[in-house]
Amino acid sequence: MGRPSNDDERAAAHARLFCPALVRAVLSLLGRLGVPRCHRTDVAGQVWLTAWESWPRFDPKRGRPERWLNGITVHVASHYHERRKHRREELVDLIELADPAPDAAATLESDSIRTGTIDAVNELDPKLRFVLVAHDLDGIPMAQVAEDAGLPLSTLYKRRTKAIDALRDIIGLRVPMEDFARRAGSR
């Protein structure tokens, strides 16, 4: 019995190398070498391609095939990290965002609503308007408004309720008239 020939050793190394267990081992080593999970299978493919291309130069007398494959894996991972520094990937096309600023029609409508609301508030009885403006627009607490006006707090709450109801009525009457005017103007 003599020593196995180099061809026999290469065949045994080939059988040990190209098996599912080493595929998982390469993926695991790439993870430990810092290759992101999303790129591991691509880099592993490069490892196996390099191993297949360099197989004719593999010499089983120089070391175990697993160590040879680990060397290739480290080399390919190193090149991956070098190229990654210079790589610029655009995963999606640039998306044009709509201009967040309102257009002219929206601005006009907003101004119209604000003007209409101010006009409606100005139509309120002064006693009702005072409470509504002080509390709801200026943000003054009702207790402070009652103290400043020298009135009971319950009276101011009643006036506020009346002011809101009156404001609702004024705006409610204006909307049908504006709709009527718009329809009449479009004929």
The answer to whether residues 64 and 128 belong to one domain is: no
Separation between Cα atoms, residue 86 and residue 76, nearest integer Å: 16
The answer to whether residues 128 and 73 belong to one domain is: no
Residues whose CB is less than 8 angstroms from the CB of residue 51 and which lie 6 or more positions away in sequence, other chains included: 17, 68, 69, 72
User: Does 103 map to a domain?
Assistant: no
- Closest by CA to 58, choosing from 6, 3, 23, 5, is 6
The answer to whether residues 75 and 127 belong to one domain is: no
User: Does 95 map to a domain?
Assistant: no
> How many independent structural domains does the chain possess?
2
What's 138's domain CATH number?
1.10.10.10
Q: How much is the average pLDDT of 152-176?
A: 86
> What pLDDT is attached to residue 187?
54
Domain that holds residue 174: 115-185
Q: How much is the average pLDDT of 66-93?
A: 81
The answer to whether residues 73 and 121 belong to one domain is: no
Q: How many CB atoms lie within 10 A of CB 159?
A: 21
Q: What is the pLDDT of residues 125-152, one digit of tens each?
A: 999 899 988 998 888 999 999 999 999 9
Q: How much is the average pLDDT of 48-62?
A: 84
Secondary structure of the chain: what % helix, strand, coil (to 5)? Answer: 75, 0, 25
C-alpha distance from residue 9 to each of 2, 19, 27, 70, 123 (Å): 13, 16, 26, 19, 102
pTM for the structure as a whole: 0.43
Separation between Cα atoms, residue 179 and residue 58, nearest integer Å: 88
- From 85, 106, 135, the end of a domain falls on 85
> What pLDDT is attached to residue 118?
84
> What pLDDT is attached to residue 30?
92
User: Does 52 map to a domain?
Assistant: yes
SS3 state of residue 65: helix
What's 20's domain CATH number?
1.10.1740
Is residue 83 predicted with pLDDT exceeding 90? no
Q: How confident is the model at residue 1 (pLDDT cuts 50, 70, 90)?
A: very low
Task: Please name the residue that has the structure tokens 């290759």.
Answer: 35
C-alpha distance from residue 80 to each of 29, 30, 35, 74, 150 (Å): 14, 10, 8, 10, 79
- From 85, 103, 126, the end of a domain falls on 85
Separation between Cα atoms, residue 168 and residue 11, nearest integer Å: 92
Q: Which of 17-26, 30-39, 73-82 has the lowest mean pLDDT?
A: 17-26
